[in-house]
Amino acid sequence: MLEAQKYHKIIPFIAFLCVVLFTWPFFNWWLEDDVYQRAFILSLDSPLTIFTNSHQMFAFDMSRTFVPWLAFSEYLDIHLAPYSPVFSNLHNTVSFALTSFFLFYWLKRVLPVKYAVLALCLWIYLPSTILISEWTAVRHYLEGLLFSVLALLVLEKTGDKSQPLQGVVYTLCVCLLYYLSAISKEIYVTFTFYMISILFIKKKNYVGIGFLCLTGLLYLGHRFLYFGGLGSSSLVFSPSQLLGFEVLPFSFSGNHAGAVVFIVVLIMNVVILLKKHPPITWLVCLGGLFTLLFPLMPVIQHLDSDHQMKTWYRLVFLFNTVFVIGTVFSIKELSNRKLKVAISTAVLLCLLSGSVSMSNKIDKLRIAYKLEAAFYLENPDKLLFSQVPYAQYISNVHDLFCPDDKRHYIDWQGLMDRGVIHSTLLEYDTIWVYQDGEYKPDTSIYMELINKNMDRSRPLLKPRKIL
């Protein structure tokens, strides 16, 4: 067997190659709002608009999530290769490779190499990791983690009293990386701040804590300039939101076996924490748990209603990342070797099953979106009934590829004005619908749409069942 110091550097690359071969995302099509983001960002005059023009950027994400780094990351793709999903997927792959490498580099500093390898493997095969690594529009979750891990690595170099100036420079770098993670996605605002604060306190770097607090205030000020406050009425706390967290065990692996394993492992983690660690560690872990879950409270209901499509699994990406790392710490502290192997194997098998299922679902979605876009763009004389799950998708395709041409589609939700829908229907004598693996004209659905168009309280029809 190779010595640890000889093989620990190649493990991330082996794991990365395995994932690339497993998912092979390079030549895949875009998903859901990927197309919308490209159409929107192509209209921007300058990348500075992303960080300074709140009115224009509100249209980028009307849910009022503060994610300027996502827009900037997409801006790079779009101005280098605006109509190439291959380039976007390559960007995702590079982000995934860097995150895997630096995450492993940090893990092996806090764990023995074999446990660091285990933690990396579990993280790679989390369904939420698979989803984020393959979907361009949620790349900011991945890059936010990259910035957070880099902040933890740079933080180790702070606090050297023999070189105070160098320590200040490293401290400023930590704060910059924290800010980048915060503007990547809100889930990093609280947890990354908490982790860095704890480590600064441990190192007695009170200057670092001061700079970090100033960085947090800068983030809040930037956000306030954008949205004038927290950003959305959905951020108002309601006790009923806590019920949404019941889906955490299932979303860990996307299957019921994994949910059982999650609960068993959670109990193991709690028991080991209480038996082998002092009360101060309990408090630190509770604080970390709160900072992980608090940003999820306004949106957890999306995860609760997403058992089939699973595209909202991105929400629990950071939580699941921390959970698997914490689980590996607990496994390391077990004294029974057979029990260590059994628990590690059970968790890995559940995650492998969930990752295969997630990858298959993403592939089916991509195929459906690609088929619809291809038919629409190749048949400008035919009226298309769009039935993919993301109702705005075909409108976004039109805006990106043929914004000056006549629209010739009806979406299943009836998002267009009903009067416009009615006049559009009357311009054609049939509508083309995806059936039995191909697009076919269907007069019966055409007549049904004309009749249902008068009812403004419900979608026109149900979306096509893909999964």
pLDDT for residue 84: 77
Which residues in 208-223 are b (16+ Cβ under 10 Å) and which e?
bbebbeebbeebeebb
pLDDT in tens, 344-388: 999 999 999 888 888 888 888 888 888 999 999 999 999 998 888
Q: Which has the minimum average pLDDT: 162-166, 180-184, 439-443?
A: 162-166
pLDDT in tens, 48-91: 777 877 776 666 765 667 888 888 888 888 878 777 788 888 88
On the question of pLDDT at 239 being above 70, the answer is no
Q: Average pLDDT, whole number, for the chain?
A: 82
Instruction: Assign 225 a pLDDT band (cuts: 50, 70, 90).
Output: confident
Higher per-residue pLDDT: 101 or 297:
101
Instruction: Assign 2 a pLDDT band (cuts: 50, 70, 90).
Output: very low
Task: Please tell me the pTM assigned to this model.
Answer: 0.86
- Residue 1 tokens, joined: 């067997």
On the question of pLDDT at 466 being above 60, the answer is no
H/E/C letters for each residue in 32-85?
CCHHHHHHHHCCCCCCHHHHHCHHHHHCCCCCCCCCHHHHHHHHHHHHHCCCCH
Torsion of CA 139, 144, 149, 152, to 10 degrees: 170
Under a CB-based contact definition with an 8 Å cutoff, are residues 374 and 397 in contact? Answer: no
pLDDT in tens, 276-324: 889 998 999 999 999 988 888 777 766 665 544 566 778 889 999 999 9
Quick one: which of 359, 358, 354, 351 has its CA closest to 122? 351
pLDDT for residue 111: 92
- Beta-bridge partner residues of 433: 440
User: How confident is the model over 86-105, as a mean pLDDT?
Assistant: 88
pLDDT for residue 230: 47
